[in-house]
Amino acid sequence: MRPVQRRQQGLQYGLYLLCMQAINFGVDRIPPATLIGVILQALLYTGLIKVPWNAEDACISAVKLFKYRDWRSFIVSNFEHGSDMHLYYNMVSFILKGSYLELMYGTTNFVLLLALLSFGCSTMYVFLAYMLTQITGDYGYYTMCAIGFSSVLFALKVITICEEHDRSHDIGGLRVPSKIAVWIELALIHLLVPNSSFVGHLGGILVGCLYCYTFIGELIDNLIYMVTGVPVIHEEQFYRRRNLGFR
């Protein structure tokens, strides 16, 4: 999402809705890394976590990276949000995806995967912005700035779909095949939410596809295993282990 306002302190409506959704879902059902991630991003948005930047200053763009070497935005842009409702929708989505994937992969592996996805999404965003500038000649792609966890969430959505195989998904009340669900959602968000970052969302999808459908996914799994000492268990392996009585 493009940054539209400064972080505001206090309990806004979106934060209230987020608390209600977490309670309705069951706080005890949210795995620890996912829950901590939601809490930290909410505290960051409200300003209760003090940081030496403003939300709008943290947005990522190709020009900030290539011309001004603003590496801070490369890291923190994924965790800032432009409004309380932006935070609400992203964190509800994160709860759903994190509760599925963190349980499967394990907390430590999931945290490391999130870090790698965040790095990958920032890299892909800058790459797409640069390439679109070169292809179209539109300098707007080079300077467009975005913040939010949405790109990482789109990557997680692709991974979730990959793990679920051929289950259908509900998009705007329509049941669609899993293979096209993420692309339909990308188009709908772009049409219905004009302030959203199409390039950021597309970048997240591409990062998710790289993890799921290319050798890069195996490289990432091996890297995670080298760091944590715990193999990344995917859906078929996960349920096979449960049926054999392993935890």
Per-residue pLDDT tens over the stretch 62-85: 999 998 889 999 999 999 998 899
In contact, 35 and 43? CB cutoff 8 Å: no
Question: Which residues contact residue 191 at a Cβ distance below 8 angstroms, ignoring those fewer than 6 apart?
Answer: none
CB neighbour class for 106 (10 Å; exposed up to 12, middle 13-18, buried from 19): buried
Per-residue pLDDT averaged across 110-133, rounded?
97
| Alpha-carbon separation of residue 61 from 66, 67, 126 (angstroms) | 9, 10, 6
Residues in the chain: 247
- Please give the pLDDT value at position 246: 39
Kindly report which listed range (16-30, 128-142, 188-202, 211-225) carries the lowest average pLDDT score. 188-202
H/E/C letters for each residue in 30-97? CCHHHHHHHHHHHHHHHCCCCCCCCCHHHCECHHHHHCCCCHHHHHHHHHCCCCHHHHHHHHHHHHHH
Percent of the chain with pLDDT over 90: 64
Query: To which residue do tokens 């030496």 refer?
Result: 52
The β-bridge relationship of strands 169-171 and 174-176 is: antiparallel
pTM of the predicted model, to two decimals? 0.89
3-state class of 170 per DSSP?
strand
Residue 95, pLDDT score = 97
Q: Which pLDDT score is estimated for 176? A: 75
With a cut of 80, say whether residue 14 has pLDDT above it: yes
168 part of the active site: no
- Predicted confidence (pLDDT) at residue 238 exceeds the cutoff of 60: no
Residues 33, 170, 161, 127, CA torsion sign: negative
Q: Which residue has the higher pLDDT, 37 or 4?
A: 37
d(CA 223, CA 106): 15
The yes-or-no verdict on residue 3 having pLDDT over 70 is: no
| Residue 127 zone, left/alpha/beta (φ > 0; ψ -120 to 50; rest) | alpha
Average pLDDT over residues 20-32: 96
Specify whether 190 is catalytic: no
Instruction: For residue range 94-105, list pLDDT tens digits in order.
Output: 999 999 999 999
- 102 contacts 31 by C-beta, under 8 angstroms: yes
The closest of 45, 87, 60 to 197, measured between CA atoms, is 60
pLDDT of 241: 47
220 pLDDT more than 70: yes
Of the ranges 4-18, 143-157, 186-200, which is most confident?
143-157
Q: Among 85, 95, 94, 98, which residue's Cα sits nearest to residue 17?
A: 85
Which residue of the set 83, 150, 196, 197 is catalytic?
150
pLDDT band at 196, cuts 50/70/90? confident
pLDDT, mean of residues 25-37: 97
Which pLDDT value is given to residue 172? Answer: 62
Instruction: Quickly state the pLDDT bin for 108 (edges 50, 70, 90).
Output: very high
The three-class DSSP label of residue 154 is: helix
pLDDT above 80 for 170? no
Structure tokens at 25: 């879902």
